[in-house]
Every structure is written in C-alpha cells, then in structure tokens.
Amino acid sequence: RYLIIDDLIATGGTLEAVASMVEKVGAHVAGIFSIIGLPFLNYKNRIGKYNPVTLVDYHGE
C-alpha cells in the first residue's frame, strides 16, 4: 500500500500518472495527500477515486 504525497495538486495529471505506475506494478494506492490543492482546476475529475486530501485549498485563479 502506498500513500502518494506531493506539494501541490493542480490538474491532478502528475498524481494520476504516479498512481497508474504504482498500480501497474501490482501495488495499491492507499491515498493521495498534498499540502496545497487548487480545486478550481478540477483535479478530482482525474484523481477523485483516490480520495485526495489537502491541508489548504486555494479557491482563486
């Protein structure tokens, strides 16, 4: 089981790619954590199934 940690979630593309690599080798993504999230860029459309958790959400563009 792996917890993927990043400093910032913008579109979720990088974290989606990392999660895909983890799953490709047969491991399980337990979740995704980030310090900052930019929900106005709709990252949950890409990585929502991993229930991403952020410390701070920035809602402005």
Q: Where are the domains of the chain?
A: 2-57
Residues 6-46 have pLDDT tens digits of 999 999 999 999 999 999 999 999 999 999 999 999 999 99
Q: What is the pLDDT of residue 54?
A: 98
Q: What Å distances lie between residue 46 and 15, 35, CA to CA? A: 9, 18
Residue 61 has pLDDT above 80, yes or no: no
> Is pTM beyond 0.75 here?
yes
